[in-house]
Structure 1
Amino acid sequence: MRFTLGLALAAAAICATSQAGELSPVEQQIVAAVKAHDGEAIALLERAARINSGTLNLKGVRDVGALFRQQFDELGFKTTWVDMPPEMGRAGHLVATRTGTQGKRILLLGHMDTVFEPDSTAPLWQLDGDGVRGQGVSDMKAGDVAIIAALRALKQVGALDNTTISVMFTGDEEEAGNPKAVSRGPMVELAKRSDIALSFEGMVGDRNGQPRATVARRATAFFELEVKGKQGHSSGVFGPGAGYGAVYEAARILDAFRQQVPEQGLTFNPGVILGGTEVAFDDANSKGTAAGKTNVIANTVTVKGDLRYLDYAQRDRAQAKMREIVAHSLPGASATINFRDSYPPMAVTPGNLNVLAAYSQASVDAGLGEVGAVPAEARGAGDIQFIAPYIDSLDGLGASGSGAHSPSERLELASVQRAAIRTAILIYRLTR
């Protein structure tokens, strides 16, 4: 049985029933410990942010990993670095584990890479009022630091003893290495040995400022459209001999997609288009070249795009309609389209909603307010989608910010402490 998007929004109703409770004496100590070490958490975040760790900057990712690995070593976790095959061009992942027999087995997810490669001109760390601007400060080095701050507070009060907690910080979340069976295989194995997964992408708020977590995410896929036409003198375009050429055919197809394929929760975006008489595209670097002349009918168009959907039934409907449109070519042209799945959907489940309800209750009890649910179509892809089919999952538990993936990326510094408090209380309750 598939739970609809409407049920995701029903999580807000679940949370709305929360009544403010009291923190236990131990939980009060946990909150105090988070607050007492807030300065250390921000200092750690600054150290991490000042290291460029674009996905393709393998040394930078590993340097951030070494910094965080030291923190987990100090917390008594067993740490390992999981290397990826050299041909994948990815730095690898940091894994930290501890085992016990008490309560739920928890898996915490973060990532160390950012979209900012070494040639980026975006600042690394620039204070801005009550926040900071920097590369990956909100997406998601602050989430990583919130995990560490929560675990540090739990250790300080003795609440880590006899618990089973695994942490995985990936080095390629922004551009996952292929094949994904390899790059995400270790994560799936950890999930199969866990009961609940919590991921720390940035937390978002609604228009009224209520924090919202993620119980569902849309799947992502790619489409590749290849269009061919008859090259010839431009004076013959539209004629019976030359036909319409590749560019007009590509325009027809894309506009038909826009008009005929849309449905709620589905998006498809042609991100790159190249057309002319000579076209070349470099998949590895997502760059291409095109050449042609205004008096020559283009014979080739290449389109690269993405497709995002709520579930596999929606994917199949969209792909069938897109193939139908492609097949009805203009005279003198032809086209083919291919699809490639990337991230699986994270479906709304009763288990995910239960975890959200528990998280919201922890937030209410700590005086931080209720936490609602983000609609699936409001979030992009995330690592948690690879493991959500196996265990109850919740995402978007990190710090709050804005402008992710842009030179103006900004973090609200106080939100790191809030994220750590909510997380520490939830973990404490789940592991009792």
Structure 2
Amino acid sequence: MDHPRALLGAARRLREDMVARLGALVTSESAPGSLPHLVACADLLAGWGTEVLRRSPRRVVVDGLPHLLWSAERQDVLLLGHFDTVFPIGTIRSRPFTVRGNIATGPGVCDMKAGIVQMFGALSLIADTSAVGVLLTCDEESGSVTSRSLIEREAQRSGAVLVCEAATPDGGVKVARKGGSVYRLTVQGRAAHAGTEPHRGVNATVEVAHHILTLRTLDAAASTGTSVTPTLLSAGTTTNTVPERASVAVDVRAWTSAELDRVDRAIRGLEPVLTEAVLAVDGGINRHPMSPELARPLLSLAQDVAARLGIPALTGAHVSGASDGNFTAALGVPTLDGLGAVGGGAHTPEEYVDLDHLPERTALLAGVVSRLTTPAGVGQRTGHREP
């Protein structure tokens, strides 16, 4: 990066094209599990990636889900992202991609379609991308069930991993993330007429309510920032029937693996409260925490690149949400997250991206990648790339 200001200028000239691409990508809806839409979105991205990397991706299809991989023979750095969103198909009709001033809105604009646009913009600014791998998955929002082994395999053969998830609203990159667990508690009771013979039933709704109240004590008992949150609830069939079945999903987040283990033991130790009720627990620990130690050399490098570009100083943030970066960091691979768009409101109708930051974050990523693909790059110093 001999001419950092020239790099920033080149990124600024890409702004109009990047905004147009962001609109096209947001409009290409990609709800979890919606195969035709995920395939169409993958087709769009495959073309963009091939253009800048000058090599075609391998489409890794698992259970019908299309993940895109541009691997490198000598993979100094892996750029990691996902193109699925949490929003159901049809959301774009009520909330189309919109630009007002410097703010862009639309479903998935921040988490994380702008990060993908920036990723390809940055790669277009790099003369030699032969040591850069790119992996875009399509099931991150549903737990990365089909892509996890692919992510871990590519991370293990990389010197470093840069995750293009969104930055914090004030532009911070993410050096630490909580780990997460997902559970489903299912209760089997017995149906009965709610008006004439309620005593003959075993009320699954009442049983699951007992466990919801117990779950709420698991995070209150700890002063470590652990959260245990009942989320999706389902019970009953009609208003005049004692419910014979009920279930609740549970989201757990913690800064340490020990806390995840503590909550896991507690949830698996739950016993039925009502006589004859049957309780089943499915799920478990999904992602271990992302430790800041592995991110520190990469943060230092990114801060130096930012200073040379003349853009605002970077800070390293600790955030509660998990990402696929948790998987790569758990393997001991240097990982820096939050190199995507500056924005906020992820998973809500208020999701937005600040377009004024689009060029500078693109230049930042290009500068970091360029540094990592030189002989003195962090990836080579750490020796994590497998032969």
Q: Contact conserved, 2:85 with 2:141, CA < 8 A, in 1? A: yes
Distance 1:46 1:230 in 2: 51
**Cα 1:320–1:193 shift into 2, 3 Å:** closer
Q: Which residue of 2 aligns with 1:16?
A: none
Q: How does 1:6-21 map to 2 (within 5 A)?
A: none
Question: Identical aligned pairs, as a percentage?
Answer: 24
Distance 1:320 1:175 in 2: 23
Q: Which residue of 2 aligns with 1:124?
A: 96
Q: Contact conserved, 1:145 with 1:416, CA < 8 A, in 2? A: no
Distance 1:89 1:117 in 2: 18
Q: Which residue of 2 aligns with 1:149?
A: 121
2:136 aligned counterpart, secondary structure = strand
| 1:39 shift after superposition | 2.0
| 1:232 shift after superposition | 5.6
Q: What letter corresponds to residue 48 of structure 1 in structure 2?
A: L
Q: Give the alignment partner of residue 214 of structure 2, picking from 252, 256, 264.
A: 256
Post-superposition Cα deviations, 1:5-57, rounded to whole Å, max 9, x if no partner, equal: xxxxxxxxxxxxxxxxxxx6432332222122222222222222222222333
Q: Which residue of 2 aligns with 1:114?
A: 85
Distance 1:343 1:423 in 2: 28
Instruction: Tell whether 2:293 aligns with 1:329.
Output: no
| 1:204 shift after superposition | 0.8
Post-superposition Cα deviations, 1:222-261, rounded to whole Å, max 9, x if no partner, equal: 22223355656769999xx869843333222211221344
Q: Which residue of 2 aligns with 1:401?
A: 343
**Cα 1:347–1:233 shift into 2, 3 Å:** same
1:78 aligned counterpart, secondary structure = coil
| 1:219 shift after superposition | 2.6
Q: Which has the larger radius of gyration?
A: 1
Gaps of 5+ in 2: 375-387
Q: What letter corresponds to residue 275 of structure 1 in structure 2?
A: A
TM-score where L is the length of structure 1 = 0.76
Q: Contact conserved, 1:230 with 1:299, CA < 8 A, in 2? A: yes
Distance 1:225 1:78 in 2: 46
| 1:89 shift after superposition | 4.0
Q: Give the alignment partner of residue 238 of structure 2, picking from 288, 291, 295.
A: 291
**Cα 1:174–1:230 shift into 2, 3 Å:** closer
Q: Give the alignment partner of residue 67 of structure 1, picking from 44, 48, 54.
A: 44
Q: Which residue of 1 aligns with 2:155?
A: 191
More displaced stretch, 267-276 vs 223-232: 223-232
Q: How does 1:338-349 map to 2 (within 5 A)?
A: 338-341=281-284, 343-349=286-292
2:61 aligned counterpart, secondary structure = coil
Q: Which residue of 1 aligns with 2:67?
A: 93
Q: Give the alignment partner of residue 352 of structure 1, picking from 295, 299, 315.
A: 295
Q: Contact conserved, 2:264 with 2:285, CA < 8 A, in 1? A: no
2:347 aligned counterpart, secondary structure = coil
Q: Which residue of 2 aligns with 1:21?
A: none
Q: Contact conserved, 2:339 with 2:361, CA < 8 A, in 1? A: yes
1:291 aligned counterpart, secondary structure = coil
Distance 1:118 1:80 in 2: 26
Q: Which residue of 2 aligns with 1:27?
A: 4
Instruction: Tell whether 2:226 aligns with 1:266.
Output: yes
More displaced stretch, 367-376 vs 135-144: 367-376
Q: Contact conserved, 2:181 with 2:260, CA < 8 A, in 1? A: no
| 1:199 shift after superposition | 0.7
Q: What letter corresponds to residue 398 of structure 1 in structure 2?
A: G
Q: Contact conserved, 1:79 with 1:94, CA < 8 A, in 2? A: no
Q: Contact conserved, 2:190 with 2:204, CA < 8 A, in 1? A: yes
Q: What letter corresponds to residue 108 of structure 1 in structure 2?
A: L
Provide the aligned length of Structure 1 versus Structure 2.
Answer: 370
TM-align CA RMSD:
2.9
Gaps of 5+ in 1: 1-23, 277-289
TM-score where L is the length of structure 2 = 0.84
Instruction: Tell whether 2:183 aligns with 1:223.
Output: yes
Instruction: Tell whether 2:110 aligns with 1:138.
Output: yes
Q: What letter corresponds to residue 408 of structure 1 in structure 2?
A: E
Distance 1:270 1:261 in 2: 11
Q: What letter corresponds to residue 204 of structure 2 in structure 1?
A: A
1:329 aligned counterpart, secondary structure = coil
Q: Which residue of 1 aligns with 2:246?
A: 301
**Cα 1:340–1:317 shift into 2, 3 Å:** same
